[in-house]
Amino acid sequence: MAPKQKTDVLQGTLALMVLKTLDVLGSLHGYGVARRIEQISGGLLSVNQGTLYPVLLKLEQEGAISSEWGASENNRRARYYRLTREGRKQLQVETHDWEQTAAIIARFFKANAEDLT
Amino acid sequence: MKSLRRLFTRLSNSVARHEQEERLREEIAEHIALQTDANLRAGLSPAEARRQAMLKFGGVEAMKQDYRAERGLLLTPRVAIVNEQFARHYWPNADPVGKHIRIDNAAGVQLEIVGVAPTIKYQNTRERPMDMVYVPLAQHPLSRMTLMVRSRDDPLQLIQPLKDIVRTLDANLPMFETRPYEDLYLNNAVRGPQIAVDLVGAMGAAGLVLTIAGLYGLVAYNVSRRTREIGIRMALGARPSSVLRLVMGKGLVLVGIGTIFGLIMGFGVERAMNAMLFDAGYVDLVAYLIVVPSLLAATMLAAYIPARRASHISPTEALRYE
Domain that holds residue A84: 4-116
Question: Which residues on B lie below 8 Å from A64 (Cβ)?
Answer: none
Most B CBs within 10 A among A36, A53, A69, A75, hence the mutation to make, goes to A53
Pick the residue with more confidence: A106 or B107?
A: A106
Distance from the A22 Cα atom to the nearest Cα atom in chain B, whole angstroms: 17
Cis peptide before B155 (omega within 30 of 0): no
SS3 call for A41 = helix
Q: Over its length of 322 residues, how does chain B's per-residue pLDDT go in tens digits?
A: 455 555 555 554 433 556 777 888 889 999 999 999 999 998 889 899 999 888 888 888 878 877 877 776 555 678 899 999 999 999 999 899 989 998 877 777 788 898 999 998 887 777 889 999 998 877 776 777 788 888 888 888 888 888 888 887 777 878 888 888 888 888 877 777 788 888 988 998 898 899 888 888 887 888 778 877 877 887 888 888 888 888 778 778 888 888 889 888 888 887 777 776 655 556 677 778 888 888 888 878 887 887 777 777 777 776 665 5
Other C-beta atoms lying within 10 Å of the C-beta of residue A20: 18
User: What was the pLDDT predicted at A1?
Assistant: 38
Is ipTM > 0.85 here? no
Q: How confident is the model at residue A117 (pLDDT cuts 50, 70, 90)?
A: low
Per the structure, the count of domains in chain A is 1
Sequence-distant (≥ 6) Cβ neighbours of residue B64 within 8 angstroms = B24
B59:A46 CB<8 A: no
User: What was the pLDDT predicted at B73?
Assistant: 58
B74:A78 CB<8 A: no
Chain A interface, Cβ < 8 Å to B? 1, 4, 7-8, 29-31, 34, 46-51, 53-54, 57-58, 61-62, 72-74, 76-79
Question: Which residues on B lie below 8 Å from A61 (Cβ)?
Answer: 70-71, 73-74, 76
Query: Residue type for B193, please?
Result: P
**pLDDT, tens digit, 9 for 90 and up, residues A51-89:** 889 889 888 888 889 999 998 888 888 999 999 998 999
User: What was the pLDDT predicted at A20?
Assistant: 93
User: What was the pLDDT predicted at B304?
Assistant: 80
A54:B70 CB<8 A: yes
**pLDDT, tens digit, 9 for 90 and up, residues A16-34:** 999 999 999 989 999 999 9
Which CATH number goes with the domain that contains A76? 1.10.10.10
Nearest chain B alpha carbon to A28: B31
Question: Which residues on A lie below 8 Å from B56 (Cβ)?
Answer: 46-47, 49
pTM, whole model, 2 decimals? 0.42
Question: Which residues on B lie below 8 Å from A30 (Cβ)?
Answer: 27, 30-31
Most A CBs within 10 A among B17, B30, B39, hence the mutation to make, goes to B30
Distance from the A53 Cα atom to the nearest Cα atom in chain B, whole angstroms: 7
Contacts by B58-64, CB closer than 8 A, 24 or more apart: B58/A47, B58/A48, B58/A49, B58/A50, B58/A51, B59/A1, B59/A48, B59/A50, B60/A50, B60/B28, B62/A1, B62/A50, B63/A48, B63/A50, B63/A51, B63/A53, B63/A54, B64/B24
Nearest chain B alpha carbon to A35: B35
Question: Which residues on A lie below 8 Å from B62 (Cβ)?
Answer: 1, 50
How far is residue B277's CA from residue B232's CA, in Å, rounded to a whole number?
57
B63:A48 CB<8 A: yes
Question: Which residues on B lie below 8 Å from A4 (Cβ)?
Answer: 2
* Structural contact between residues B166 and B7, judged by C-beta atoms closer than 8 angstroms: yes
Most B CBs within 10 A among A7, A8, A31, hence the mutation to make, goes to A31
For A84-106, what is the mean pLDDT?
Answer: 90
Nearest chain B alpha carbon to A68: B23
Pick the residue with more confidence: A41 or B260?
A: B260
Instruction: Write the residue in B23, B59, B67 that is nearest to A54 by C-beta.
Output: B67
How far is residue B81's CA from residue B117's CA, in Å, rounded to a whole number?
7
User: What was the pLDDT predicted at B174?
Assistant: 83
Instruction: For chain A, say whether B22 makes contact (Cβ under 8 Å).
Output: no
Other C-beta atoms lying within 10 Å of the C-beta of residue B235: 13
